[in-house]
């Protein structure tokens, strides 16, 4: 994340509170004591700072997905640039097949609104990542490591697709190759080194 853009949240499994990044603070300098604890209605429970203005988006996801314990909303520049031009990320690598799947580009909805939260809450069902037209990306996962990997793989795929389209015609994986990758890598998980 660059500057004050984007936001991150996490919760302990099956808890009714989340920790979210504060609004307006420079992300690279954040410390754990800067995070804001909020309940599932968006009320701040602990912190001297305001929660991210995107808290409705985060809460909509947690309310719809009991399996999600971490959410990242970032402004991936290459992914956003391609989405602005109408290009969706493609499953071009085994990692993209397993981590991204079909990544839809959602229509523009104003940031920090209940309408955006409702749309994301609906569209995130069965997915790990969405692109928000003219806004950014939203990724979800079991923990922060998984979500960060998803956001990084999405940007890597977008960068690779951009380069491939600039210099020639990309050679995409066939539907058969994609299905075989899914079978071979069934149970693929991101392992966190303790």
Rounded Cα distance between 8 and 10, Å, is 7
* 155 assigned to active site: no
| Separation CA 97–CA 186 (nearest Å) | 11
26-64: string of b/e by CB count within 10 Å (b at 16+)?
ebeeeeeeebbebeeeeebeebebebbebbbbbbbbbeb
- Is residue 54 classed as helix, strand or coil in its secondary structure? coil
Residues near 25 by beta carbon (within 8 Å), at least 6 away in sequence = 4, 34, 49
Quote the distance between the C-alpha of residue 101 and its chain's center: 13
Select which of 33, 41, 46, 54 is catalytic: 54
Residues ≥6 apart with Cβ < 8 Å to 118:
60
What are the tokens at 152? 């990084």
Smallest CA-to-CA distance from 177 within 107, 120, 97 is with 97
Catalytic residue numbers, as ranges: 54
């Amino acid at each position: 994340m660059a500057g004050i853009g984007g936001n991150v949240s996490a919760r302990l499994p099956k808890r009714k509170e989340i920790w979210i990044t504060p609004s307006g603070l420079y992300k690279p300098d954040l410390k754990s004591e800067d995070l804001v604890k909020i309940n599932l209605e968006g009320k701040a429970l602990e912190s001297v700072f305001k929660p991210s203005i995107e808290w409705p988006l985060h809460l909509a996801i947690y309310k719809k997905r009991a399996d999600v314990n971490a959410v990242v909303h970032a402004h991936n520049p290459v992914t956003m640039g391609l989405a602005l031009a109408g290009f969706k990320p493609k499953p071009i690598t085994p990692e993209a097949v397993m981590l991204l799947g079909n990544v839809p580009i959602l229509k523009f909805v104003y940031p920090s609104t209940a309408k955006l939260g409702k749309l994301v809450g609906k569209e995130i069902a069965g997915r790990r990542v969405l692109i928000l037209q003219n806004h950014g990306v939203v990724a979800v996962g079991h923990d922060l490591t998984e979500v960060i990997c998803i956001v990084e793989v999405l940007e890597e795929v977008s960068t690779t697709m951009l380069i491939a389209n600039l210099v020639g015609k990309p050679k995409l994986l066939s539907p058969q190759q994609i299905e075989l990758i899914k079978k071979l890598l069934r149970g693929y998980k991101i392992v966190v080194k303790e």
